[in-house]
Amino acid sequence: DQQVKQNSPSLSVQEGRISILNCDYTNSMFDYFLWYKKYPAEGPTFLISISSIKDKNEDGRFTVFLNKSAKHLSLHIVPSQPGDSAVYFCAAKTVDSSYKLIFGSGTRLLVRP
């Protein structure tokens, strides 16, 4: 039972264009969502997060959108750069568990020069 789903295993975009990574979830008790970026043979690093009381959070080139009615969130990267090429994980936590994060399966982004 996958509560957090990233249905696109990979995405390829041209440098300078927008990258849109999608994430769907099934648990309506999730109250906080995060995106992590992972390079090969390294641990994931935190990128951006959003609380369920918001529908948008922006940090430089990265923006996360949350659509609670659709149980969908997306990460926009504008403009995309070759250094953004990595695996991106969506994660969520529930209101009743302040510690445990549930991760999606990841999307591998390739930004072509």
Q: Is 23 in the site for other proteins (CB under 8 A)?
A: no
- Compute the CA torsion angle 45, 66, 91, 98 (nearest 10 deg): 100
**Which amino acid would we find at residue 37?**
K
**Cβ atoms 60, 46 nearer than 8 A:** no
- Member of 6, 19, 80, 85 binding other proteins (CB under 8 A): 6
Q: What is the CA radius of gyration of the chain?
A: 13
101 by DSSP, 3-state: which?
coil
Give the closest residue to 30 by CA, choosing from 107, 105, 100, 88: 100
Min dist. Cβ of residue 50 to other proteins (A): 12
Min dist. Cβ of residue 45 to other proteins (A): 7
Min dist. Cβ of residue 68 to other proteins (A): 19
Min dist. Cβ of residue 15 to other proteins (A): 25
Q: Is 26 in the site for other proteins (CB under 8 A)?
A: no
Kindly list the residues in this chain that would bind other proteins in the complex (CB under 8 A).
6, 9, 32, 34, 36, 41-46, 49, 89, 93, 98-101, 103-106
